[in-house]
Amino acid sequence: MGCLLPIVAIFMPRLALVIIFFFTNWFERSFQTILWPLVGFLLMPYTTLAWMGAMLFNNHQLSGAWIIVLVVAVVLDLGGQGGSARRRKVA
């Protein structure tokens, strides 16, 4: 499952979040409450995964390359939402 989960996370981030929720304790270790993962699941799944990775694998610090990963995740999440609005406007 070590290589399969990142592949699933890239193509289907919400499915990866569900798998992580049911089979690991990463949500408990990364977030203080259930509110932020729930909002992240609904609105910004890539950002939620990036934040979880930064908190788990960088000793609860957001520094170094994890800042770049988080910024890229935010751009991907916002870009997907903005692109759909643009398509709706043109059509």
pLDDT in tens, 45-56: 999 999 999 999
Distant-in-sequence, close-in-space partners of 83: CB < 8 Å, separation ≥ 6:
none
Domain encompassing residue 71: 4-90
Q: Give CA–CA dist 12/46, Å, rounded.
A: 9
Q: Give CA–CA dist 77/85, Å, rounded.
A: 13
What's the pTM?
A: 0.82
Q: In Å, how far are 79, 81, 85, 87 from 91, measured between CA atoms?
A: 18, 16, 10, 6
User: pLDDT for 21-47, tens place per residue?
Assistant: 999 999 999 998 989 999 999 999 999
In the chain, how many domains are there? 1
